[in-house]
Amino acid sequence: NAGVTQTPKFRILKIGQSMTLQCAQDMNHNYMYWYRQDPGMGLKLIYYSVGAGITDKGEVPNGYNVSRSTTEDFPLRLELAAPSQTSVYFCASSGRARDEQFFGPGTRLTVL
């Protein structure tokens, strides 16, 4: 049981490039979340999903897109990378609303 996995662990992008951060969970959880963590700012919710085919915006969705075609996978897409998107990105999942979230190890992204 791998829990929540994220790839890649690290990535450096140039301004304007695009990339997809991958997230997968093997716990059959319906709820999945993407957060970004910036120093001194805690975690901010980017997007979340309550099941396959259903996604919704969080606090800071601008510049990002998501899709949820399967229960297991919840990729996060950056279309035109900007320096403001330099951050650590965490994916999380939970079995029910308002229940414990299980976090992946994170992806450290730098945009130069």
Partner 1 sequence: AQSVTQLGSHVSVSEGALVLLRCNYSSSVPPYLFWYVQYPNQGLQLLLKYTSAATLVKGINGFEAEFKKSETSFHLTKPSAHMSDAAEYFCAVTSTNTGNQFYFGTGTSLTVIP
Name the site residues for partner 1 (rule: CB under 8 A): 4, 31, 33, 35, 40-45, 48, 50, 56, 58-59, 90, 92, 97-98, 100-101, 103-106
Distance CA 52, CA 12 (A): 30
Integer-rounded Cα Rg, in Å, for the chain is: 13
As measured in angstroms, the least distance from the Cβ of 103 to partner 1 is 3
As measured in angstroms, the least distance from the Cβ of 15 to partner 1 is 26
Nearer residue to partner 1 within complex by CB, 59 or 79: 59
CB count, 10 Å around CB of 9? 9
Nearer residue to partner 1 within complex by CB, 17 or 44: 44
